């Protein structure tokens, strides 16, 4: 099944036009978490971290089947 990963955040929004063919929703969820972490890594390299965004996972019909909040993709240890 093809899943698309739409980025939603305060400073950006991006629609995934191509998507990825993945086995199931759990695999798509893992891919979305990996995507969030990649975005956050780029932010950290710029010296900032904004956890208010999310990645919406859409199925082939365009329905949002999962939404991964940036804040849920990491664990902060103080």
Closest C-alpha to 52, from 15, 11, 16: 11
* Largest separation between any pair of C-alpha atoms in the chain: 42
Residues 12/6, Cβ–Cβ less than 8 Å: no
Within 10 Å of residue 67's Cβ, how many Cβ atoms? 15
What element of type H or E holds 29? Answer: helix 25-45
pTM recorded for the entire structure: 0.91
pLDDT band at 11 (very low <50, low <70, confident <90, very high): confident
pLDDT in tens, 12-68: 789 999 999 999 999 999 999 999 999 999 999 999 999 999 999 999 999 999 999
d(CA 52, CA 48): 12
What are the residue boundaries of the structural domains of the chain, listed by start? Answer: 2-72
């Amino acid at each position: 099944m093809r899943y698309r990963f739409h980025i939603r955040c305060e400073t950006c929004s991006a629609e995934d036009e191509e998507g990825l063919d993945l086995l199931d929703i759990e695999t798509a969820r893992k891919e979305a978490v990996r995507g969030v972490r990649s975005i956050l890594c780029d932010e950290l390299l710029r010296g900032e971290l904004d956890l208010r965004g999310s990645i919406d996972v859409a199925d082939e019909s365009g329905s949002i089947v999962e939404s991964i909040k940036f804040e849920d993709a990491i664990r902060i240890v103080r």
